[in-house]
Chain A
Amino acid sequence: DAKTTQPTSMDCAEGRAANLPCNHSTISGNEYVYWYRQIHSQGPQYIIHGLKNNETNEMASLIITEDRKSSTLILPHATLRDTAVYYCIVRVAWNYGGSQGNLIFGKGTKLSVKP
């Protein structure tokens, strides 16, 4: 089962920042937070990932709380092309003979960017 909780859907106005929350209260010390998105009729696309510190790349920013129990994905200037389902996933970074660190997807958040 997915180890994250996300809102089912969110709306955002074009040009505004989209802030997508994710709860992962049972995250372990050796688990990363990953974000993927899936645009209609396409496969999931990697966005960003982080362990403890905030991360930023050309697509988005990831803010992880100090206790690591929740995070927020920020799309700074949402466009219509950002309309997609966004998945927050916790993934084992390293292991000592246990899980291979597979991605376990939940249902994600359907983000609708409106003109």
Chain B
Amino acid sequence: EAGVAQSPRYKIIEKRQSVAFWCNPISGHATLYWYQQILGQGPKLLIQFQNNGVVDDSQLPKDRFSAERLKGVDSTLKIQPAKLEDSAVYLCASSRGQREKLFFGSGTQLSVL
């Protein structure tokens, strides 16, 4: 079974630039999550989708972050404009349902200079 795919693996940008991350969940998984992991800390949930609808985006900084999951499969997370404090690993995860165990991708490591 293929795992959660994320790209790119690494991204370096300057502050105020924009960046986008892509996630392809495990086939058949209805629930998709984006987490932010700052160095030395545990992952923090940014947004949760159930199919193509948003379930929880309470921790998403909506002035600069946006996410979508068109057709309930792939998802993109965008940051515009980026700040220095956005430097982190962005992890995508999926699960069959909201109460099921999560499977994580390897993440995208973002460095904002």
How distant is the Cα of A36 from the Cα of B104 in the complex, in angstroms?
Answer: 11
Report B38-54 residues with CB < 8 Å from chain A CB: 40-45, 48
Is the Cβ of A102 less than 8 Å from the Cβ of B101? no
Shortest CB-to-CB span from B64 to chain A, Å, is: 22
How distant is the Cα of A44 from the Cα of B104 in the complex, in angstroms?
Answer: 6
Is the Cβ of A104 less than 8 Å from the Cβ of B45? yes
Number of A-B residue pairs, CB cutoff 8 Å, is: 49
Is the Cβ of A107 less than 8 Å from the Cβ of B55? no
Q: Which residues of A contact B106 (CB under 8 A)?
A: 41-43
Is the Cβ of A44 less than 8 Å from the Cβ of B101? no
Shortest CB-to-CB span from A57 to chain B, Å, is: 11
Is the Cβ of B42 less than 8 Å from the Cβ of A105? yes
Q: Does A25 make an interface contact (CB < 8 A)?
A: no
Q: Which residues of B contact A2 (CB under 8 A)?
A: 42
Shortest CB-to-CB span from A49 to chain B, Å, is: 7
How distant is the Cα of A34 from the Cα of B107 in the complex, in angstroms?
Answer: 21
Q: Which of A36, A43, A102 contacts B105 (CB 8 A)?
A: A43
Q: Interface 1/0s, chain A 1-17, versus B by CB < 8 A?
A: 01000000000000000
Q: Which residues of B contact A45 (CB under 8 A)?
A: 104
Is the Cβ of A107 less than 8 Å from the Cβ of B42? yes
Contacts A87-B42, A100-B55, A105-B44: A93 and B107 contacting too (C-beta < 8 A)? no
Report B81-113 residues with CB < 8 Å from chain A CB: 91, 93, 98-99, 101-107
How distant is the Cα of A34 from the Cα of B41 in the complex, in angstroms?
Answer: 18
Shortest CB-to-CB span from B87 to chain A, Å, is: 16
Jot down 14 A-B pairs with beta carbons below 8 A, ordered by A: A34-B101, A43-B91, A43-B106, A44-B43, A44-B91, A44-B93, A45-B104, A49-B101, A94-B99, A100-B55, A101-B99, A102-B45, A103-B43, A105-B43
